[in-house]
């Protein structure tokens, strides 16, 4: 690898993608994008206690249960991934 | 418009709580995080929770952990927050502050998926701390000591694993081997790639041990083992010499003991018999109790049941795991077991409790064990139990919590001087209507009627060294009554006091003699019963008197002052006379300073609107030292000495100070600082207290001198945590008061009002509001006021609960079952319990046990009419058939046939998940009957969606039904559609109207301004907001302005630009032509955002109100976490400049404790705009003195002036 390669846009992007989960790329599918957004949202709900309580009141569940449900939903936030079209 | 934001009531809910010895020594404290506030609590010797310290950190605290370095006596606090930093705090007992020991940055700020802060775990030996995120990132910091025994922290070591969700984190106790941390992890990478869903169904949670190799300074994944897929929480099991080490994995329905190289030991969590089969049992909080010889765990499930978990172990081998039913207390976010035998439960919703252990669950009870775990074809055999009343715990104190504050209105229903805040709080069976009044709560000890109207009251001790008062002396217009304080308070005649004359003052003089000042002289009663009488010269009488223990000054009619001093033998000696220019209005002498023979200052108030300070020193006796002119004649004077403090339990350090307080005839309290050497007056502040001239009395509160001001209501001036507070007491008007101390009541106040003598005590200091609670049945949603009758109509609804009849039936059934001992495993003990329970009035109060869970599509709801004056429910309609009320409003239809009607929007069979669904929506119209006390259904109109918003508009009813805004008129059988607009983006959740404008709030798209054209019968949107806002609360501020709050914790104001507004009003088509040109589905005009502020808490209600009589209005808000705040508009540009500069300096000089940048926090979602954070400014007095002076210099002011400004700003709001 040449020294200049480290600074070109692609390697910078790769670095970002490795470091920050959810950094997009040109071939990002709609599904992948949504999954990221959903996971970010759930993480934000879990992190902000007042918001978690707000959901807990709406669903009449305990806050602990609500947090667990959100964690569980992070596995498949948007259902199953679509069939991949072979290139 | 610039606003000053101030929190009036801090958040009362608790996010997490930990216990430890934070101040060092033996006492145990509890550190609690209330969102953006970190508090330190301590149960005192009476078992009451006291707040020792409270600090706002301007950031979201998400997790706390405590650790102790080996051999140390003191615990440190590790804070995981949204700051992207790890912060280690130490409580400084001397200064009563949290010192930030370390702050290390590791990531971006904000609550993000991969930025650590969600979990904090510490090595039980205090050698390392792990901080984790929901996904991927985990960092380990090594903690150590340097040569001077200070705590050091290493650079972070990474233990990341990408595509992995982390459920829980804890330290593993492995003695002094390398520290190990355990995590429940779930890898999702394959599930994301596999469209068949096979990978997702096979996704397996793992328990992973991370080992920190202290020698290599490296973290490695040591062990990873599949774990039950319902796992959600880890608890450290004591290790080393104390236990088997390893972790308890709490999973849905199970508790599993796991350790490396050890087979899993699993036991089921017993289930309530009435729990639907499809529901699991999840552990939400846990605590461990460790003694020298044994340890056990307490785990609490999502239904509130607490179980005791014990391990039978032999060395490192665990042979049996037992889960035994312990007790049921309200669901907690954290529970803490204190060494003193207390259990602190930080409730998720509602009041927090402090419990004392009566037993530790040694008696037989429903128990499940790993040894008799039965596996059947359908899984493991469950164990059932029936909740019973508390057996092992007893509640000894509770801390009020408003969380969640669902709705709030500031009203003056009781026609008191200040309005009351009516708030709907709590959830399910613990819901309540709380009436908040600004002021301190008092406890009335005794009220007794007196013969005639007393004019004054004093208490005296017989000897200066006595602990308690000996007499209560009451003066009438022509007599004096002496009551002795003993077992009972009774009248005595042998006290030596003259009872045929009114008294002006009664006091202890010298060490052991008593003095009575009456209009004709001074009666001096010596300890041996000798009486010396000093008579006034000629026909003059004494009008006013000022005294302390050694000095007396009397003012004769005509304005002559005579000064007496008690000499060495206790004799009162006349020292000096002085002729004042006119009659004296009031007098006071400062208390004798410690170790001195006399106080130097006498204050004299005259009717020429002046207050003079006179010297009492022998060399310049009765010479005028300074003069202060006041706005009205003074009525009462009081010197209040504030002792120097260097922090400690009382709070911030401040130098000793002497304040002269004058109550003026116009009802103003005027407070000035007296220079302790020269007697010069400076730094005056005034505050209007009430319509009557305030009378001032010195009393003692918590061993410190405080001031009681009696105007049209009583006020207390006291120092609390370094702040001077002047707070009203929630009590009736008093005439005269004196401190009172007896063995039943160490620090009370005796007072006269009307013809009664009242003795009361002042409860918790430092609170802004005191509350009266009216319990409700279900989670309250909204309420309205019946405008004429002053009745409240509350709608309550709960999802997944049984109706009252179903519950009653189930309860009967369960008691029958319990009575014959057939429930659960048929324990013999259960029979006894059943019998015991019936003795109690309410054996299973829903408040404590919660409602039994029903399927999630079941709804219960009721409409309640409540008379707030008597706190009684006059009418309660329970809705049937899964119908739940969502919105309510009062409406007067223009035909006036029925007068005021009540409209209630309901939904039948509402379902949120998996898809929002409903059977039908209805709008009920009720008629008030029996003077508004009862409701009668007029008719019910079916609608196609959820009617979330209702509002009266021009004699008709406006309803927001899903995305449709519709205008209804009243018909005989149903409501009649008149007009509608279907162009709203999502769901209408609020409607407010003003003249012909309608302000509609959308659940997701902020405000829409609409107009109704009567001639064309059209509703149309002429302006909207360009920012998507998930509205949670809204309030109409003025013709062009709306205030709103969104789900993410922001408060904002939008305004229609002036020119646009005028154009629309002048346009004959009302801007309709433009409306037709709207682009991209939006309205043609856009509103401007004029104010923006991040509160950091979900705001549930907004209202414009004034909390002080005659004061200007501010926007008040209430939040889910139970805090109440206000936004007050500045009236002068100078104030805006001053406060914005103060805020700027505070940001620079005093960055928030948990590492979040203040400006970034207040701008978390949108940049803060035109709001100055009063909470930050009010931290100014807690700064060190030199920093205060530095900031004050920058602002060209003195620190005292800044304090005055802050006090003024607060006094404008409350």
Q: Which pLDDT does position B855 carry in this prediction? A: 82
Residue B704, pLDDT > 90, answer no
B593 burial class (0-12, 13-18, 19+ CB within 10 angstroms)?
middle
Of the candidates A23, A6, A61, the one whose C-alpha atom is nearest the C-alpha of residue B302 is A61
Of B45, B773, B24, B879, the C-alpha closest to B396 is B45
Each residue of B27-52: pLDDT tens digit?
Answer: 899 999 999 999 999 998 888 898 88
DSSP per-residue string spanning B499-541: -SS--SEEEEETTTEEEEEETTEEEEE-TTS-EEEEE-STT--
**Distance (Å, rounded) from C-alpha B824 to C-alpha B381?**
12
Task: Give phi and psi for A70, each to the nearest 5.
Answer: -65, -40
Residues of B with Cβ-Cβ distance to A81 under 8 angstroms: 192-195
> What is the distance in angstroms between the Cα of B911 and the nearest Cα belonging to chain A?
10
- Summary mean pLDDT of chain B: 90
> B573: which 2 tokens?
């000696």
Position with higher pLDDT, A12 vs B347? B347
Whether pLDDT at A57 is above 90: yes
Please give the C-alpha separations between residue B431 and each of B312, B434, B696, B848, in angstroms, as whole numbers: 41, 9, 40, 12
CB-neighbour burial class of residue B455 (10 A; exposed 0-12, middle 13-18, buried 19+): middle
What are the CB-based long-range contacts (under 8 Å, 24+) for B1105-1110?
B1105/B410, B1105/B419, B1106/B419, B1107/B8, B1107/B410, B1107/B418, B1107/B419, B1107/B438, B1107/B1213, B1107/B1214, B1108/B418, B1108/B1211, B1108/B1212, B1108/B1213, B1108/B1214, B1109/B417, B1109/B418
B518 within 8 A of B501, measured Cβ to Cβ: yes
Q: Which candidate from B82, B135, B191 shows the least CB-CB separation from A21?
A: B135
Q: How far is CA B184 from CA B55, B131, B675, B841, in A?
A: 33, 14, 64, 45
Query: What's the gap between Cα B56 and its chain centre?
Result: 13
* CB spacing of A39 vs B197 below 8 angstroms: no
Min Cα–Cα distance to chain B from A62, Å? 6
Record: contact B134-A47, CB cut-off 8 A: yes
Compute chain A's Rg from CA coordinates: 18
Separation between Cα atoms, residue B543 and residue B1040, nearest integer Å: 60
**pLDDT class of B825 with cuts at 50, 70, 90:** very low
Nearest to A71 among B165, B284, B333 (CB): B165
Nearest CA among B779, B969, B1014 for reference residue B884: B779
* Cα gap B922→B882, rounded to integer Å: 12
Residues A20, B113: Cα–Cα separation, whole Å: 10
* The total number of residues written for chain A in this structure: 87
Tokens of B633: 């004649």
Q: Could you tell me which of B65, B11, B19 has the C-alpha nearest to residue B43?
A: B19
Q: What integer pLDDT is reported at residue B1010 of this predicted model? A: 93
Tokens 């901080």 -> residue: B131
CB B597 within 8 A of CB B576: no
Res B841: pLDDT: 42
Determine the Cα–Cα distance for residues B565 and B888; give it in Å rounded to an integer. 70
Query: Bigger pLDDT: B1067 or B367?
Result: B367
pLDDT at B830: 35
Structural domains of chain B, ranges and CATH numbers in brackets:
423-438+766-810+847-980 (2.130.10.10), 982-1097 (no CATH), 1129-1210 (1.10.150.910)
- Mean pLDDT, range B729-758, rounded to an integer: 90
Predicted pLDDT at B606: 93
- Report the alpha-carbon distance of residue B100 to residue B251 in Å, rounded: 36
What does the pLDDT look like over B114-149, one tens digit per residue? 999 999 999 999 999 999 999 999 999 999 999 998
Asked if A71 reaches chain B (Cβ–Cβ under 8 Å), the answer is yes
Helix, strand, coil tally for chain A in percent (to 5): 65, 0, 35
Cα separation values, B1072 from B1001, B1020, B1037, Å: 20, 8, 24
CA angle centred on B1014, ends B1009 and B1015, rounded to 5°? 130
CA–CA dist B448, B1135 (Å, integer): 50
Q: How far is A44 from chain B (nearest CA, A)?
A: 6
Q: Give me the pLDDT at residue B1109, please.
A: 83
Q: A64: nearest CA in chain B?
A: B284
Closest CA to B364 of B833, B839, B837: B833
Q: In what order do the strands lie in the sheet with B85-92?
A: B61-67, B76-81, B85-92, B97-105
> Shortest Cα distance from B113 to chain A (angstroms)?
5
- Give, for B1214, the enclosing helix (H) or strand (E): none
pLDDT of residue A6: 63
Distance, in Å, from the CA atom of B639 to the CA atom of B469, rounded to the nearest integer, reads 22
Categorize the per-residue pLDDT at B823 as very low, low, confident or very high, splitting at 50, 70 and 90.
Answer: very low
* Interface touch B779/A57, C-beta < 8 Å: yes
pLDDT at residue B1068, rounded to an integer: 74
Query: For position B856, what pLDDT does the model report?
Result: 79
Q: Judge whether B683 and B724 are in contact, CB under 8 Å.
A: no
Please report the pLDDT score of residue B837 as a whole number.
38
Q: Is the peptide bond before B914 cis (omega within 30 degrees of 0)?
A: yes
Residues of chain B contacting residue A71, judged by C-beta atoms under 8 Å apart? 134, 165, 167, 232
User: Which residues neighbour B478 within 8 Å (Cβ) at sequence distance 6 or greater?
Assistant: B500, B501, B502
Q: Are B1067 and B1084 in contact (CB under 8 A)?
A: no
pLDDT of A43 over the 60 cut: yes
Whether B1054 and B1044 have beta carbons less than 8 Å apart is answered as yes
A63/B348 touch (CB, cutoff 8 Å), yes or no: yes
CA distance B92 to B101: 11
For residue B839, is pLDDT > 50? no
Distance in angstroms (rounded) separating the CA atoms of residues B853 and B863: 21
* Spatial contact of B542 and B521, defined as CB atoms under 8 Å apart: yes
What is the percent of chain B with per-residue pLDDT over 90, rounded to a whole number? 68
Instruction: Average the pLDDT over each of B346-355, B382-391, B1164-1173 and give the range with the smallest value.
Output: B382-391
How many CB atoms neighbour CB B467 within 10 A? 10
Angle at B672 between CA B594 and CA B719, to 5 degrees: 60
CA distances from B907 to B721, B796, B901, B902 (A): 50, 13, 20, 16
Q: What are phi and psi of B893, to 5 degrees?
A: -75, 150
Q: How many CB atoms are closer than 10 A to CB B814?
A: 20
Closest residue in B to A68 (Cα) is: B232
B1024 close to B1037: Cβ distance less than 8 angstroms:
no
Give the tokens for residue B631.
Answer: 């706005």
Between residues B654 and B718, the one the model is more confident about: B718
Task: Say which DSSP state B467 is in.
Answer: S
**pLDDT tens sequence across B501-548:** 999 999 998 888 999 999 999 999 988 888 989 999 888 899 999 999
Q: Is there a contact between B113 and B162 (Cβ–Cβ < 8 Å)? A: no
At B1080-1138, the pLDDT tens digits run 778 888 999 999 999 999 999 999 999 988 889 999 999 999 999 999 999 999 999 99
Residue B1144 pLDDT greater than 80, yes or no: yes
Q: pLDDT (tens digit, 9 = 90+) per residue, B227-280?
A: 999 999 999 999 988 899 999 999 999 999 999 999 999 999 999 988 988 899
CA dihedral for B10, B13, B15, B18, sign (positive or negative) = positive
- Determine the Cα–Cα distance for residues B1022 and B22; give it in Å rounded to an integer: 59
Per CB-CB distance under 8 Å, the chain A contacts of B195 are 80-84
Percent of residues, chain B, with pLDDT higher than 70: 96
pLDDT of A2 reads 60
Identity of the residue in A22, A39, A53 whose CB atom sits nearest the CB atom of B1120: A53
B1208 vs B4, B505, B1201, B1213, B1214, CA distance in Å?
A: 12, 35, 10, 9, 10
Exposed, middle or buried: residue B790 (CB in 10 Å: 0-12, 13-18, 19+)?
middle
Taking an 8 Å cut-off on Cβ atoms, the answer to whether A53 and B1121 are in contact is yes
pLDDT of residue B834 exceeding 80: no
Chain B residues in contact with A65 by the CB 8 A cut-off are: 282, 284, 302
What is the Cα–Cα distance from B197 to B1033, expressed in whole angstroms? 41
> Per residue in B804-813, pLDDT tens?
888 888 877 7
* Model confidence band, residue B1031 (pLDDT cutoffs 50, 70, 90): very high
Residue B870 host element (H or E): none
């Amino acid at each position: 690898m040449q020294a200049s390669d480290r600074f070109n846009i692609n390697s910078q992007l790769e670095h970002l993608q490795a470091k920050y989960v959810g950094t997009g790329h040109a071939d990002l599918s709609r599904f992948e994008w949504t999954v990221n957004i959903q996971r970010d949202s759930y993480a934000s709900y879990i992190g902000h206690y007042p918001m978690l309580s707000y959901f807990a009141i709406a669903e009449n569940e305990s806050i602990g249960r609500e947090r667990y449900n959100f964690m569980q939903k992070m596995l498949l936030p948007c259902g199953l991934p679509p069939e991949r079209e072979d290139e | 418009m610039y606003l000053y934001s101030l929190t009036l009531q801090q958040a009362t809910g608790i996010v997490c709580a930990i216990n430890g010895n934070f101040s060092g020594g033996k006492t145990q404290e509890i550190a609690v995080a209330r969102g953006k506030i970190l508090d330190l609590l301590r149960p005192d010797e009476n078992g009451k929770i006291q707040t020792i310290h409270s600090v706002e950190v301007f950031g979201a605290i998400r997790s706390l952990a405590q650790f102790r370095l080996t051999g140390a006596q003191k615990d440190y606090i590790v804070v995981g927050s949204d700051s992207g930093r790890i912060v280690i705090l130490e409580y400084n007992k001397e200064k009563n502050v949290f010192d930030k020991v370390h702050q290390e940055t590791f990531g971006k700020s904000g609550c993000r998926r991969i930025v650590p802060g969600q979990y904090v775990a510490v090595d039980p030996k205090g050698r390392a701390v792990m901080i984790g995120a929901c996904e991927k990132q985990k960092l380990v910091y090594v903690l150590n000591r340097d040569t001077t025994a200070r705590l050091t922290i290493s650079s972070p070591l990474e233990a990341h694993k990408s595509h992995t969700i982390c459920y829980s984190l804890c330290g593993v106790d492995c003695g002094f081997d390398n520290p190990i941390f355990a995590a429940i992890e779930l890898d999702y990478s394959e599930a994301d790639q596999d469209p068949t869903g096979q990978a997702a169904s096979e996704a397996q949670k793992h328990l992973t041990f991370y080992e920190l190799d202290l020698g290599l300074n490296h973290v490695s994944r040591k062990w990873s083992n599949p774990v039950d897929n319902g796992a959600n929480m880890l608890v450290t099991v004591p290790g080393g010499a104390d236990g088997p080490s390893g972790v308890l994995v709490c999973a849905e329905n199970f508790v599993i003991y796991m350790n490396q190289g050890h087979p899993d030991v699993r036991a089921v969590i017993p289930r309530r018999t009435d729990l639907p089969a499809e529901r699991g049992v999840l552990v939400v909080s846990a605590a461990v109790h460790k003694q020298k010889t044994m340890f056990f765990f307490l785990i609490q499930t999502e239904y509130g049941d607490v179980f005791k978990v014990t391990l039978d172990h032999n060395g490192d081998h665990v042979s049996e795991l037992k889960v035994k039913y312990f007790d049921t207390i309200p669901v907690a976010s954290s529970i803490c077991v204190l060494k003193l035998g207390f259990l602190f439960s930080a409730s998720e919703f509602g009041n927090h409790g402090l419990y004392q252990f009566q037993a530790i669950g040694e008696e037989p009870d429903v128990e499940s064990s790993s040894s008799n775990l039965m596996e059947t074809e359908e899984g493991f055999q469950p164990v059932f139990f029936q909740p019973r009343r508390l057996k092992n715990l007893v509640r000894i104190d509770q801390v009020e919590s408003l969380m969640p504050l669902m709705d709030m209105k500031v009203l003056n229903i009781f026609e008191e001087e200040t309005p009351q805040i009516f708030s709907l709080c709590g959830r399910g069976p613990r819901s309540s209507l709380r009436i908040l009044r600004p002021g301190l709560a008092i406890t009335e000890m005794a009220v007794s009627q007196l013969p005639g109207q007393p004019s004054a009251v004093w208490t005296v001790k017989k000897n200066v060294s006595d602990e308690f008062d000996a007499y209560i002396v009451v003066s009438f217009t022509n007599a004096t009554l002496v009551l002795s304080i003993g077992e009972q308070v009774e009248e005595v005649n042998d006290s030596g006091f003259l009872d045929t004359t009114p008294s002006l003052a009664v006091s202890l003089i010298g060490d052991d003699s008593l003095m009575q000042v009456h209009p004709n002289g001074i009666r001096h009663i010596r300890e041996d019963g000798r009486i010396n009488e000093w008579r006034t010269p000629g026909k003059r009488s004494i009008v006013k008197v000022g005294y302390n223990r050694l000095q007396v000054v009397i003012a004769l009619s005509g304005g002559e002052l005579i000064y007496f001093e008690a000499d060495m033998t206790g004799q009162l000696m006349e020292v000096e006379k002085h002729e004042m220019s006119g009659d004296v209005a009031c007098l006071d002498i400062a208390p004798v300073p410690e170790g001195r023979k006399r106080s130097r200052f006498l204050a004299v108030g005259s009717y020429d609107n002046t207050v003079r300070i006179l010297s009492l020193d022998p060399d310049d006796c009765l010479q005028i030292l300074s003069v202060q002119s006041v706005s009205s004649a003074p009525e009462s004077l009081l010197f209040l000495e504030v002792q120097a403090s260097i922090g400690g339990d009382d709070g911030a350090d401040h130098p000793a100070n002497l304040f002269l307080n004058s109550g003026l005839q116009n009802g103003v309290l005027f407070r000035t600082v007296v220079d302790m050497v020269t007697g010069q007056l400076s730094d005056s502040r005034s505050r209007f207290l009430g319509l009557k001239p305030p009378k001032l009395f010195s009393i003692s509160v918590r061993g410190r001198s405080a001031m009681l001001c009696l105007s049209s209501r009583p006020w207390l001036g006291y120092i609390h945590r370094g702040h001077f507070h002047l707070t009203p007491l929630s009590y009736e008007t008093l005439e005269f008061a004196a401190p009172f101390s007896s063995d039943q009541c160490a620090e009370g106040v005796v007072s006269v009002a009307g013809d009664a003598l009242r003795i009361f005590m002042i409860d918790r200091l430092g609170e802004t509001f005191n509350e009266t609670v009216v319990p409700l049945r279900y989670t309250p949603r909204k309420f309205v006021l019946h405008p004429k009758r002053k009745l409240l109509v509350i709608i309550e609804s709960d999802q997944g609960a049984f109706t009252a009849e179903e519950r009653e039936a189930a309860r009967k059934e369960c008691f029958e079952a319990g009575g014959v001992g057939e429930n659960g495993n048929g324990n013999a003990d259960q029979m006894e319990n059943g019998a015991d329970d019936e003795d109690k009035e309410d054996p299973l109060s829903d408040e404590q046990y919660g409602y039994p869970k029903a399927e999630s599509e079941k709804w219960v709801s009721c409409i309640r009419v409540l008379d707030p004056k008597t706190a009684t429910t006059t009418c309660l309609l329970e809705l049937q058939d899964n119908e739940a009320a969502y919105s309510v409003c009062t409406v007067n239809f223009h035909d006036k046939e029925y007068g005021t009607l009540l409209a209630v929007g309901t939904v039948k069979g509402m379902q949120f998940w998996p898809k929002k669904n409903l059977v039908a929506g209805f709008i009920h119209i009720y008629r008030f009957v029996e003077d508004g006390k009862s409701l009668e259904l007029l008719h019910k109109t079916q609608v196609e969606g959820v009617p979330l918003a209702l509002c009266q508009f021009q004699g008709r009813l406006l309803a927001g039904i899903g995305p449709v805004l519709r205008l209804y008129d009243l018909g005989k059988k149903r409501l009649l559609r008149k007009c509608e607009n279907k162009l709203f983006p999502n769901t209408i959740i609020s409607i407010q109207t003003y003249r012909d404008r309608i302000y509609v709030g959308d659940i997701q798209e902020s405000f829409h301004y609409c107009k109704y054209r009567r001639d064309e019968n059209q509703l149309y949107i002429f302006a909207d907001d360009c920012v998507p806002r998930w509205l949670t609360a809204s309030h109409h501020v003025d013709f062009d302005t709306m205030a709103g709050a969104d789900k993410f914790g922001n408060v904002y104001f939008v305004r229609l630009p002036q020119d646009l507004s005028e154009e629309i009003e002048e346009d004959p088509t009302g801007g309709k032509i433009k409306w037709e040109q709207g682009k991209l589905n939006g309205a043609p005009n856009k509103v401007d955002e004029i104010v923006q502020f991040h509160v950091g808490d979900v705001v549930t209600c907004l209202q414009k109100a004034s909390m002080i009589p005659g004061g200007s209005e501010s926007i008040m808000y209430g939040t889910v976490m139970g805090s109440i705040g206000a936004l007050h508009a500045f009236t002068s540009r100078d104030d805006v400049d001053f406060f914005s500069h103060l805020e700027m300096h505070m940001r620079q000089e005093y960055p928030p404790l948990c590492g979040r940048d203040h400006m970034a926090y207040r701008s978390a979602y949108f940049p803060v705009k035109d709001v100055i954070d009063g909470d930050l400014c009010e931290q100014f007095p807690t700064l060190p003195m030199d920093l205060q002076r530095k900031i004050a210099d920058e602002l060209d002011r003195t620190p005292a002036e800044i304090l005055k400004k802050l006090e003024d700003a607060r006094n404008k709001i409350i």
